Structure 1
Amino acid sequence: MRPGRALDVLNVLLSDVRYGLGAYLGVYLMTEHHWDPAHIGFALSIGGLVGLLAQTPIGLLVDVIRAKRALLAGAVLVVTASCLVIPLAPGFGAVTAAGVVGGVAGASIAPTLAAISLGIVGPAGFARRAGRNEALFHLGNAAVNVVILVTAPLLGTPVLFWVMATTGLLSALAAMAIPESAIDHDTARGLVPGIQHVDQAAAWRMLLHSRPLLAFALCGALFHLANASMLSLVAQKLALQNIGWGVALTAICAITAQSVMVPTAALAGARADAWGRRPLLLLAFLALVLRGLLYSVSDWAPWLVAVQLLDGLAAGLIGALFPVVVADLTRGSGHFAAAQCAVGTVHAVGGVASGALAGWVALRAGYDAAFLVLAAIAALGALLFWLTVPESRGAPALTDPEGIPA
């Protein structure tokens, strides 16, 4: 199979594995095992916290290991297995432990996929390839949610786990179908052919002192603090108001968002080099602010589902451009995956805290109050992004301390 086609297939299949069961897990635990929003948020946050602590060491491994296909396939199988044990042991301790295992394994999927993609297409084609990866990922996600929407009313919640098992196995096979010879492992870690490189310790010092990279990490943390729990809160709200339809309505919300994410991610990848990364990322923040505000306007199910269109816009832009910005700011360092994981760790801190914060606010003050708090956080992130994050397109390679973008 040609490398580009194999990547396409892999991205479509990874859609049900990359983030585990996602919002469905909260609905499953609430409707089938009577968990409350606070316990759901805390259980998922613990697993996420351990996973994010493992990200940077995993990134270092991704940079140096040449068996990237095997690493990706193994991570996919572990994430799948950690989700499949939940119906067998749905207690707080077991679910938390499964989340820890799945979080650690899942932390390697995105950076390994990005490194393989960069190693195949090179820096010049990476923005377009990253956008294509994200668009195909969301296309696959939409397809999976359609399957769940159609089958869940007939087969019940077990269909979530059957679909997970199928896509997990196929994703592992697709990863191994990528031709090993097509991956340039030096390019995959962010090295630039023909340019003299600094030693590894100096490269890390330059990355740690890169103000644009640090600003991007902080602003991304605020984005994910506001964004990560919104779909889960909407799914819980719909499940409580529409007894027996929680899984189906969650699938409809996800499909609605994915229908926008696919063209948004493709457009971001195709136009990021011409328009720049900064205006597209600022648009993602503004869409998130508006989404949080509109969720609090009405409890009508069609309204809540319609607002999910803004999730597609924000998540499509962030997902497509995150690896592109990190690649811009780390070019020549040889630490693309490690830097991606380090920045991703900061982003994930926001995502992990989001579940606990939103669950606590929803329990104490209601769902509308939680949405307004998240919208305010997104607005703060938009302001800081505008003031602190420069355009990364055309940033110089990190070949010496003077190569750090000002």
Structure 2
Amino acid sequence: MFYGKSLQLARMLHGLSRKELGERLNVTEQSIWQFEKQMTEPSFENVLQLKSILQVKSSFFFEQSTVTQTFPENNIAYRKADVVSRKKTNSEVVYLNFVAEIIHYLEGFLNVPPTTLITLRKKVIEHLPSKLTNAAIKQTAALAREFLNIRPDNGDLLLSLEKSGIHVLEKNVGGKADAYSAWSTKDVPVIVLGIKKSAVRRNFDLAHELGHLLLHAHVDFLMLEKNERAQVEREADYFASCFLLPAQTVKKEFEEIRKISNPDSYIPLKLKYHVSIQALEMRAYKLGFLTPKQHSYFYRQISLNDYKLEEPLDREIALKRPGKIRSIFHMVLNNHITDLQSIEEHFQVERSLLEEMFSIESDFFVPYEKQSNFTDFNNVLRPNFNA
């Protein structure tokens, strides 16, 4: 039996509308709707085409989906709040739930350390006032930085967040969104990063999303009005600024800048703290080191120097990529706990879809292509796995 819900899941996983999928399949949008509503069944040729387009096994469409809805739409701190965004958010919900299912499956073979970010979140909730103030956000940022033990140069931020239990993913988010984050109903934190950012802008995105995870863990983002959404974004921005550039650390640095409104004056600090020139100036401005007139002049210079999209050192400072999911795949496959084919068959997907979902380079799985008969169980397994 052909299951239309499975087709819908695969379509949304790729972020495709019915019209877009219909164009690729060379059928009408109405035909895709009928397939998904099980009013008609696609032909054998259509199924083969859908399999290829959506990077799944043919059997994917003939089994009911078992993906658990652990990431509700209203939990996602997604930045763009218009109608297009709602459609986009729905696709990201499907993506989050699907990757969470795969990660949960793989971690089921391992002894996974506890998520320490939950402990940090509890500490934050204890001191947060009912109405957030800048003072409370600043205090939260300081608490988080100390708890996560972030180096002064912020160079270990991504690694520290992954160690805290956050699943950090990267993908082509699309639209105007830079990144987004969410807590699952099982208290699993996730941050999804865009793929077109420089290393320093990625650091700010990480800190911004950490702010959402800590400050807005129980916010219903779907119920926010436009002005309320803008407010939570400002709060996350302020958290990121305080978190990456603690006042007690950077005040002396700003005092020593001779031309405070010149973007190039911030280049040494950008290299030192792995934070963008624009984020550094904004922090200096908020701390009172620039007048509004100087602040305005700074951004005119940013525009004149074409620094808005690419700043000095953007290409020189190495971009750090999430490594936790790769490590999980490597540990499970390298220790022959299971094999690549079994993972593909379990989720009825092609390897190319796994690569796309987790932004894994195509040669990563090559060493595991011929694996089979996994029998080498060692201490990375859960103690009761053989029970």
TM-score (normalised: structure 2): 0.26
- Greater fraction strand: 2
Which structure exhibits the higher relative contact order, with contacts defined as CA atoms closer than 8 Å and separated by 6 or more residues? 1
